[in-house]
A and B are shown apart, each in its own frame.
Chain A
């Protein structure tokens, strides 16, 4: 289990991470969310021992993370961290050996993953000759080559097309099933929603929202009603408790303060020609924007 307890990090007088605590168990996929500069990368760097926390503890299976356990960790950085003059094979051998693997193991795993991600033709190509998407695949492969117990993925889907995003997702889910602890950050909330059971939303280094996504959504009182039919925006906007109405191509999205507003909206349209009336929980993206917005205002 990965455990962060009251972790704080100062850069000089600047508070980058403020008293952050969370834990991630084996097989869990955990989302660390936040706007740019929220403290996500600093948190990742502290977890993998690149930075020392100013205070607090970080442990993996109850032991502090140091160079004796880094062989069990896989890390994919937000920006490309490949040595562009090396070939794919050299790159895998380089990072694999640093993870304590022997050459035979590395080459076996490399061939398996290159084949799986459809890039086996590039084994002897230099990294700089590859497209951004393929570089990201190689970066991902080098991060999981050692089948890490703890896998940290900082924006893993950047530069990938939907097909490859799906490939990555499958692999991440497979690794979690094998018992890996996976933490990842992404600006794409739909990805986080699909993967993660638990999240932390950071703002200026501070935890502004955390817990199970299901619980978070349940606690979040605002709902959305999707209405399709013979009804206009003007007819609904005066109802008390309706905060916003968004017009989509063939339907309206009515944002309401809480469940109690639903009957008022239904009453207003029940005599009209309606083909869809669905009450949905808000998306994580909405909750994220709402929470981050609230905290900014505070």
Chain B
């Protein structure tokens, strides 16, 4: 004879995984992940002038061509462009002739720069384009012109070549920290993690959403169809409750593994098709982050950060599933269930936004205190640990607090669940639930 707990767990899990919506949702999720990680290749595939260099027609009356070209290269290096996006063409044509060129499709994105010497301003510059120009182009060209102006001024001041080199030489900053164990690589990692961690944690948020929806919808469905009465006449509410919690968490694990597989497929595809020259895709950013991570001391931290984060996440999934089951047992119709999802999601979102803000408000006592709060600690606590704002002890405290919450949810929640699943009236609901909790 089958174990009724095992049977109910299996039925719940199969009901979710075998549904056409699970398949459709996963196909869409897989497509989105593969597309996001290979977004640059997709954009390139559909064509466009992303890889074409922008022509800058320089009408140079100030002998500034070489200096300007050099400044452009330096400015591009600052924003991470290894290969120049511009063709700087020293032009002998008149401005009017160049304007005519800009009217052609071939040169519709080209830029005319006229640099004239000026006694008052060193140089006077006119910049002509056909339409509004790209913000990055504007910044790069403006900075380059300003630097060219300074370089021309220095050059005109009869400074020797050695002195000029010294002026342009990058300053070596000797960075020091009073606290031990600090280094510049990890300092830069903090900046990266502030932006990257919320992206990494996004699947956790999504899985929480799936978990709450699955457990809530099932309990609500069994209750509103009155199938619950037959089920509970054969298995205890405790067995039924735990079957939902176990099935929900198994589902989340399976979905989590599937998300990892989709990401691996996406990276495999990226590797096979080769990345395009556009470096703005999420895939390349992730590659850069992984590269930076491997080169930093964070890698050694990951050995304990990953397991401890997984433990905390798993315990938090259990908390959410217990909470979803208890609340769903109190609902009397599908509308109630839809409404109950909102507060649970808000709790999860609070953790998500605080994790994103933790880098901006470094050292915030408020955020540190909230990192201990169960349900949001799974997102916030590992984020603060990565940023070095809390230590491993604090995360262990968060784990203990989540265990205590789970214990309380099982102890008191089960009493509510037992009464809630057979209650079909919303009249005096909270009174009934508090009474059940005390019983």
Q: Is the CB of A71 within 8 A of B230?
A: no
Contact indicator B231/A98 (Cβ below 8 Å): yes
Set A70, A73, A82, A100: member contacting B227, Cβ < 8 A = A82
A50 touches B1 (CB 8 A): no
Q: Are A98 and B1 in contact (CB under 8 A)?
A: no
Residues from chain A with a CB closer than 8 A to the CB of B422 are 45, 50-51
Task: Mark B1-41 against chain A: 1 for CB-CB distance below 8 A, else 0.
Answer: 11010011001000100000000000000000000000000
Q: Are B235 and A67 interface neighbours, CB within 8 A?
A: yes
Interface of A, secondary structure class, is loop
- CB pair A80–B226 under 8 Å, yes or no, is yes
A102 and B1 contacting across the interface, CB-CB below 8 Å: yes
Report the minimal beta-carbon distance from B238 to chain A, rounded to whole angstroms: 10
Query: Which single residue of chain B is at the shortest CB-CB distance from A146?
Result: B234
A85 within 8 A of B: yes
- B235 adjacent to A81 (CB under 8 Å): no
Q: A94-B11, A98-B4, A102-B1 are in contact. Are A71 and B226 (CB under 8 A)?
A: no
**Complex contacts, B225 vs chain A, CB 8 Å:** 80-84
Q: Is the CB of B226 within 8 A of A49?
A: no
Q: What residues of chain B lie closer than 8 Å to A81, measured between beta carbons?
A: 225-230
Given contacts A75-B229, A77-B230, A99-B234, contact A83 B221 (CB under 8 A): yes
Q: Which residues of A sit under 8 angstroms from B232, Cβ to Cβ?
A: 50
User: What are the residues of chain B within 8 A of A84 when measuring CB–CB?
Assistant: 225
CB distance from B28 to the nearest CB of A (A): 22
Contacting pair A79 B226 (CB below 8 A): yes
* A100 and B1 within 8 A (CB): yes
**Residue among A45, A83, A95 with the highest chain B CB neighbour number at 10 A:** A83
Q: How many residues of B contact A (CB 8 A)?
A: 23
- B7 x A97 contact (CB < 8 A): yes
Instruction: Contact check, B226 vs A142: say whether CB atoms are below 8 A apart.
Output: no
Question: Considering the complex, which residues of chain A in the window 85-108 have a beta carbon less than 8 Å from any beta carbon of chain B?
Answer: 85, 94-95, 97-100, 102
A200 adjacent to chain B (CB < 8 Å)? no
> Which chain B residues border A98 with CB–CB below 8 Å?
4, 7-8, 230-231, 234-235
Residue in chain A with minimal CB distance to B239: A67
Known: A70-B234, A98-B235. A77 touches B222 (CB 8 A): no
B419 to chain A, nearest CB (A): 10
Q: Are A73's CB and B226's CB within 8 A?
A: no
| B233 pairs with A73, CB closer than 8 A | yes
Residues of A within 8 A of B222 (CB): 83
Complex contacts, A73 vs chain B, CB 8 Å: 233
Question: Is A48 interfacial (CB 8 A cutoff)?
Answer: yes
Of chain A, the residue at the smallest CB distance from B235 is A98
Whether B236 sits at the interface, judged by CB under 8 Å, is yes
The reply to whether B230 and A75 form a contact with Cβ atoms under 8 Å apart is: yes
Chain B residues, Cβ within 8 Å of A99: 234
CB contacts (< 8 Å) of B231 on chain A: these are 98
A184 to B8, CA, bound (A): 29
Min Cβ gap A161→B in Å is 23
Q: How many Å lie between the Cα of A99 and that of B221 in the bound state?
A: 21
Identify the closest chain B residue to A103 (Cβ): B2
Query: A77: which B residues are within 8 A, CB to CB?
Result: 226, 229-230
Complex contact A85–B221 (CB within 8 A) = yes
**Closest CB-CB distance, B331 to chain A, in whole Å?**
17
Known contacts A81-B225, A83-B221, A97-B7; A142 and B2 CB within 8 A of each other: no
In B190-238, the 8 Å CB interface with A consists of 221-222, 225-236
Q: Once the chains are docked, how many angstroms separate the CA of A133 from the CA of B286?
A: 59
Report the bound CA distance from A86 to B226 in whole Å: 14
A136 to chain B, nearest CB (A): 13
Complex CA gap A174/B421 in Å reads 34
Cα-based distance from A73 to B232 in the complex (angstroms): 12
- Across the interface, do B234 and A83 meet the contact criterion of CB distance under 8 Å? no
| Distance to closest chain B CB from A83 (angstroms) | 5
B1 CB to nearest A CB, Å: 5
Say whether A70 contacts B233, CB under 8 Å.
yes
Residues of A within 8 A of B15 (CB): 85
Q: Are A95 and B230 in contact (CB under 8 A)?
A: yes
A81 to chain B, nearest CB (A): 4
Residue of B nearest to A128 (CB): B225
CB distance from A226 to the nearest CB of B (A): 43
A12 to B425, alpha carbons, bound, how many Å?
14
Closest beta carbon of chain B to A119's beta carbon, Å: 19
CB nearest to A51 among chain B residues: B422
The winner among B7, B225, B232 for most chain A CB atoms within 10 A is B225
Does the CB pair B230–A142 fall under 8 Å?
Answer: yes
Q: Which residues of A contact B2 (CB under 8 A)?
A: 97, 102
* Docked pose: A80 CA to B230 CA in angstroms: 10
Docked Cα-Cα span, A97 to B231, in Å, equals 11
B6 to chain A, nearest CB (A): 10
Q: Mark A226-245, 1 if CB is under 8 A from B, else 0.
A: 00000000000000000000
Kindly report which residue of chain B lies nearest to residue A73, judged by CB atoms: B233
CB-contact partner of A83 in B1, B4, B227, B235, under 8 A: B227
Closest A residue to B232 by beta carbon equals A50
Distance, CA A224 to CA B365, complexed state (A)? 88
**B4 / chain A contacts, CB cutoff of 8 Å:** 97-98
Closest to A76 in B: B230
Which A residues lie at the B interface, using CB under 8 A? 12, 45, 48-51, 67, 70-71, 73, 75, 77, 79-85, 94-95, 97-100, 102, 142
Q: Nearest 5 A-B pairs (CB), nearest first?
A: A98-B234, A81-B226, A48-B233, A83-B227, A81-B230
Interfacial residues, chain B to chain A (CB-CB below 8 A): 1-2, 4, 7-8, 11, 15, 221-222, 225-236, 422, 435
Q: Identify 5 residue pairs between A and B in the complex whose beta-carbon atoms are under 8 Å apart, listed by A's number.
A: A75-B230, A83-B222, A85-B221, A98-B8, A102-B1
Given contact pairs A75-B233, A77-B230, A82-B225, enumerate 11 new A-B contacts (beta carbons under 8 Å).
Answer: A45-B422, A50-B232, A67-B236, A81-B225, A81-B227, A85-B15, A85-B221, A97-B7, A98-B230, A99-B234, A142-B230
